Amino acid sequence: MNTLDIQRNVPLAPLTTLELGGAAKHFVRVQSEPALIDALHWATARDCPVAILGGGSNLIVPDEGYDGLVVQLGMSDLTFRDGGLIQAGAGVPWEDVVDGAVFRGWAGVECLTGIPGSTGATPIQNVGAYGQEVAGVIDRVRVVRRDTLEAEELNPSECELDYRNSVFKRHPDRFVVTGVDFALRPDGPPSIRYAELQDNVAAHASLGDVRRAVLELRKRKSMVLDRGDANHRSAGSFFLNPVVPTNQAETLVERAVDEGLVTTASEVPRYPAQEGRTKLAAGWLIEKAGIAKGTRRGAIGVSTNHALALVHHGGGTTAELLAFAEEIRARVRDRFGVDLEREPRLLQ
Ligand code: EPU
């Protein structure tokens, strides 16, 4: 076994973008698969629960912290191979992957720019934005199985990738993602599918143009990590966009028109989903339920630029964050009969 530098009582708030929550009883940063396996053995031998930490941009840490071992993944290998293959360790900042791909003229991730966090998290929640998802470029996911502590590779269908979902999210105790191989499209055209993006780029835009336009849109919504932005302490979208039966969505739209929330049905944002289902926009539902952008409850507020992000303004607690999130859920449920599901993971 390599020497593991296991630390005690390590504050987790500084390792997350929300900057909230308590300490980890035990903490270790691992840079390789063998070190990860050693850490998992260490925990098994002590019957100690384990939680995995990536970039901390989609994580809520309870105020009481974590009574176990938090393993931060630092695998930082990043290789670009001829033909569009990228092999990245779980700890590689995701933006480095986007940067290298766009620089080489490889299409497939140009819309996935400005997303804080590490590469290992991308298959877990099937990161997506502006009409692209990592599901479109994942070639292999390298994992360590939690039951056998052996390394394995999963192909895309084994990852069961879906809207902000995967086998990793459905079964958090089954695997630790240690690295991802992506297959991009050298000289491929950029993806300009998202309506808002179409309005902001020229017809023959390059990959770089599209990436710049996405960054600009995200900045306007405070969805890039910029310490100068008053909304910067957040976990991005706090709720998923709810996917409901299409007839329920249509009833909601009719009511929105009848009650004067919109003048025409086309003003209600919604997108076709799997058969017979429609995806609604959670940010729209929150605003129309009466929670305006910028609404505050003490140190926690709704972002002034996007109703779907909850922001910590400093000096707050996770309990306050979760209480405000519950209030928002209740308001949307009462107003529209739709249940919002939390998007960031709660460490427990
Ligand atoms: N909207 C409002 N009010 C708001 C925000 C949005 O009415 O405060 C409306 C917009 O006008 C638009 C619709 O809701 O008609 C959708 O808004 P937007 O394009 O901003 O995207 P989103 O659905 O709120 C999703 C992802 C984002 C991703 C964007 C762009 C989820 C949970 N969120 O947000 O991902 O960047 O689309 O593709 O799917 C994240 O996951 O953390 C994230 C930022």
Active-site positions?
A: 164, 237, 343
Task: Please tell me whether residues 66 and 92 are part of one structural domain.
Answer: no
Rounded CA separation 174/149 (Å):
10
Report d(CA 24, CA 12) in Å as an integer: 6
Question: Ligand 1 mean position to 129 CA, how many Å?
Answer: 9
pLDDT for res 203? 85
- How far is 322 from 338, CA to CA, in rounded Å? 18
From 155, 185, 220, give the residue that closes a domain. 220
pTM for the structure as a whole: 0.96
Split into its structural domains, the chain has a count of 3
pLDDT digit string, tens, across residues 189-209: 999 999 999 999 998 999 999
Question: Is 105 in the same domain as 66?
Answer: no
* CATH number where 259 lies: 3.90.78.10
pLDDT in tens, 234-282: 999 999 999 999 999 999 999 999 999 999 999 999 999 989 999 999 9
Closest CA to 302 of 241, 225, 221, 243: 221
Q: For residues 108 and 258, give the distance between their C-alpha atoms in angstroms, rounded to a whole number.
A: 42
Query: What is the tens place of the pLDDT at every residue in 150-203?
Result: 999 999 999 999 999 999 999 999 999 999 999 999 999 999 999 999 999 998
What is the 119 CA–ligand 1 centroid distance (Å)?
21
14 and 129, same domain (yes or no): no
CB 72 within 8 A of CB 31: no
- Asked whether residue 1 is domain-assigned, the answer is no
Quick one: 216 and 89 in the same domain? Answer: yes
Do residues 124 and 139 share a domain?
yes
Which atom of ligand 1 is the closest one to the Cα of 111? 38
Nearest ligand 1 atom, CA 163: 39
Report helix angle 94-104 to 207-220, nearest 10. Answer: 150
Give the residue from 72, 121, 60 showing the smallest Cα distance to 95: 121
Residue 216's domain spans which residues?
Answer: 78-220
Residue 86, pLDDT score: 98
Percent of the chain with pLDDT strictly greater than 90: 97
Residue 306 alpha carbon, nearest atom of ligand 1:
8
pLDDT in tens, 83-128: 999 999 999 999 999 999 999 999 999 999 999 999 999 999 999 9
The verdict on 251 and 290 lying in the same domain is yes
Q: What is the pLDDT of residues 7-41, one digit of tens each?
A: 999 999 999 999 999 999 999 999 999 999 999 99
Last residue in a domain, options 163, 196, 220? 220
Residue nearest to atom 21 of ligand 1 (CA): 281
Between the CA of 26 and the centroid of ligand 1 the distance, in Å, is: 36
What's the pLDDT at 62?
Answer: 98
Closest residue (by CA) to atom 34 of ligand 1? 237
Question: What CATH number corresponds to the domain at position 53?
Answer: 3.30.43.10
- How far is ligand 1, taken at its centre, from the CA of residue 248, in Å? 20
**Could you tell me if 65 and 196 lie in one domain?**
no
Same domain, 130 and 210: yes
Within this chain, do residues 119 and 185 fall inside the same structural domain, yes or no? yes
Which residues, judged by CB distance below 6 Å to any ligand atom, belong to the binding site of ligand 1? 129-130, 196, 221, 223, 236-237, 240-241, 269, 281, 283-284, 287, 293, 306-308, 343
In ligand 1, the atom with minimum distance to the C-alpha of 131 is: 38
129 and 152 share one domain = yes
Q: 3-state DSSP call for residue 340? A: coil
The residue whose C-alpha atom lies closest to atom 27 belonging to ligand 1 is: 129
Residue 66 shares a structural domain with residue 117: no
> What CATH number has the domain bearing residue 83?
3.30.465.10
Domain annotation covers residue 228: no
Instruction: Mark which of 220, 255, 283 sits at the end of a domain.
Output: 220
How far, in Å, is the centroid of ligand 1 from the Cα of 61? 24
Q: Is position 226 within any domain? A: no
- Shortest-distance Cα residue to atom 9 of ligand 1: 284
